[in-house]
Amino acid sequence: MQLFHLTAHEASRLLHRREITSRELTQAVLGRTRETEPRLKAFVTVTQEVALEQASRADEQIASGQPATLTGIPMQIKDNICTSGIRTTCSSRMLENFVPFYNATVMERLNVQGPVLVGKGNMDEFAMGSSTENSAFYPTRNPWDLERVPGGSSGGPAAAVAAGQCLFALGSDTGGSIRQPAALCGIVGLKPTYGLVSRYGLVAFASSLDQIGPLTKDVTDCALVLNSIAGHDPLDSTSIPLKAPDYTKALVPDIKGLRIGVPKEYFGEGIQPEVEAAVKKAILIMEKLGARVEETSLPLTRYALAVYYIIAPSECSANLARYDGVKYGFSYQGASNIWEQMAKTRQLGFGAEVKRRIMLGTYALSAGYYDAYYLKALKVRTLISREFQEAFQRFDALVTPTSPTVPFKLGEKVEDPVQMYMSDICTIPANIAGIPAIAIPCGFHQGLPIGLQIMGKALSEETLLRIAYAYEQATDWHKRRPDL
């Protein structure tokens, strides 16, 4: 197989055995990027020089006999995660020239192992969207079909991993932004439990929902990357004070006796029949592997999308108030006073979807509507969380589709925000409840990937990885690579 199509753990083994060097691997990945990027547009910034230098250092580290698992492995990072000295734009005009002077905690943690940064991933502006079409620069395309979207908002990272422009990536997930693009690009994506991975240095969208997580080619890589980024961080006050376990220990192909619930609200209306069929087939395989499968019901699921579109815009309207053209980022020059400068900065610096969210949130938080919308949404959020908690007394995990459809065409949903919002109907509940959820490939329809989702109670990442791994070992969807 070509080097750029290797998984991180495969490449790691070759590096440690000195069968390849990180420079060779990095050159292969950069070459692949040069060749495919004009069509794919998965990057905002390619950091070729940094990559080659880090690769040389990784080779020295390997030669000295002290390599870590991710030493010398090329990765891409979503462009809302701060990288010291490297532009971090959130795919927005507002931050087009913003160069952070510090690293996000996840970068500091990864860097301990000495991976290779090949670039920053394209995304929907400020992570608001489900197709990457809201990037202020250009949309990313799906490596399985260039006429279609890769999903979003981590569409760049997902497309880059699937296409072999990197071996793994980090994305962020507020309502599905890791899992939905993972599903649409045929790869693995994990949204960790809220608080498991530090948000320090992640540009905030909706702070009570945002989580950083891995996008990888298989479940083993997912566990490896999670190992390096999970665990307590005093710089994030919502970080759980806990030492994360070694997630690779969960990678055993045995799920005998595990209780899997299949919530009926995630099937049927609104779900493409081929997606439903593939997910149901996968559930049968899990049953054959020894899981005890049972249909169940989570009736409050139907309110999750509405709750999300109150809470996420409310938090975003507060978080994005900082972009005033005074402290940093884009600043409109030529106004006659500070108020006009702020107004113009925000008018020109933000795209249409970001403005829509800010207005929705400002409205929901305004005096007189706060109780009716924001407070009500918080109450329903509590009820949804409770419903999940009850379900997890009976089940170890819940299995559902990840995206209701296979990848859709570019332009198909941009004019209809509600249609676009529906793409996250299966993924949003996990963010509302703060629970972990993993997306893994489970089939294809007319050459387009289909993904399933496994949700579990807070801090049950090991259970999710175990089920995902057992299923993966019994199938070979994860071995397919797009023909670009």
**Minimum CB–partner distance for residue 174 and ligand GLN (Å):** 3
Rank residues 119 and 189 by Cβ distance to ligand GLN and give the closer one. Answer: 189
What phi and psi values does residue 100 have, to the nearest 5 degrees?
-65, 150
Distance CA 81, CA 27 (A): 24
Please report, for residues 359, 362, 363, 385, 452, the alpha-carbon distance to residue 315 in angstroms, rounded to integers and kept in the order given. 11, 9, 12, 19, 29
Q: Which of residues 189 and 349 has its CB atom nearest to ligand GLN in the complex? A: 189
Give me the least distance between CB of 385 and ligand GLN, in Å please. 18
Count Cβ atoms below 10 Å from residue 6 Cβ, excluding itself.
21
- Provide the minimum distance between the beta carbon of 430 and ligand GLN in the complex, in angstroms, as a whole number: 10
Contact string 128-157 vs ligand GLN (x = CB under 6 A): xxx----------------------x----
Q: Does 177 bind ligand GLN (CB under 6 A)?
A: yes
Cβ nearer to ligand GLN, comparing 8 with 425: 425
Nearest to 30 by CA among 141, 218, 181, 167: 167
User: Is 74 or 129 the residue whose CB approaches ligand GLN more closely?
Assistant: 129
CB of 164 vs ligand GLN, minimal distance in Å: 25
Please report which helix (H) or strand (E) contains residue 182, including its range: helix 179-185
**Piece of the chain touching ligand GLN by CB under 6 A; list 7-15, 172-180, 247-255, 455-463:** 172-180
Q: Does 91 bind ligand GLN (CB under 6 A)?
A: no
Query: Exposure of 291 by Cβ count < 10 A (0-12 exposed, 13-18 middle, 19+ buried)?
Result: buried
Question: What part of residues 387-426 is at the interface with ligand GLN (CB under 6 A)?
Answer: 424
Catalytic residues: 78, 153, 177
Instruction: Measure the CA–CA gap between 64 and 99, rounded to whole angstroms.
Output: 33
DSSP for residue 443:
E
Closer residue to ligand GLN in complex, CB, 71/427 = 427
User: Measured from the CB atom, is 184 or 283 closer to ligand GLN?
Assistant: 184
376: exposed, middle or buried (Cβ count in 10 Å: 0-12, 13-18, 19+): middle
Binding mask 270-309 for ligand GLN (x = CB under 6 A): ----------------------------------------
Write down the least CB distance from residue 313 to ligand GLN, Å.
9
454, 396 Cβ separation under 8 angstroms:
no
Only segment of 170-178, 214-222, 329-337, 404-412 that touches ligand GLN (CB under 6 A): 170-178
CB of 141 to ligand GLN, least distance (A): 18
DSSP assigned state of 268:
S
3-state secondary structure of 434: coil
Q: With CB under 6 A as the contact rule, which of the stretches 173-181, 266-274, 389-397, 471-479 interacts with ligand GLN?
A: 173-181
Q: Provide the strand spans (E) within 361-406.
A: 397-401
What residues numbered 302-361 form the site for ligand GLN, per CB under 6 A?
Answer: 312
CB 223 within 8 A of CB 465: yes
To the nearest whole angstrom, how small is the minimum distance from the Cβ of residue 138 to ligand GLN?
18
Tell me which residues in 193-252 interact with ligand GLN (CB under 6 A).
Answer: 205
Kindly state the number of chain residues that form the binding site for ligand GLN, as judged by CB under 6 A: 13
Q: How far, in Å, CA of 321 to CA of 312, rounded?
A: 14
What secondary structure does DSSP assign to 7-53, as a single string? -HHHHHHHHHTTSS-HHHHHHHHHHHHHHHHHHH--EEEE-HHHHHH
- Residue 75 or 128 with smaller CB distance to ligand GLN: 128
**Coil vs helix vs strand at 164:** coil
**Contact stretch for ligand GLN (CB under 6 A) within 125-133, 155-163, 295-303, 330-338:** 125-133
Buried b (16+ CB within 10 A) or exposed e, 25-47: bbbbbbebbeebbeebbbbbbbb
Stretch that binds ligand GLN, among 9-17, 26-34, 123-131, 406-414 (CB under 6 A): 123-131
Spatial CA neighbour of 258 closest among 473, 460, 475, 472: 460
Residue pair 178/202 in contact (Cβ under 8 Å)? The answer is no
- Residue nearer to ligand GLN on the CB measure, 51 or 77: 77
Q: Which residue is nearest to ligand GLN (CB)?
A: 177
Least gap, CB of 426 to ligand GLN (angstroms) = 12
From 176, 181, 231, 449, residue interacting with ligand GLN (rule: CB under 6 A): 176
Binding site for ligand GLN (CB under 6 A): 127-130, 153, 173-177, 205, 312, 424
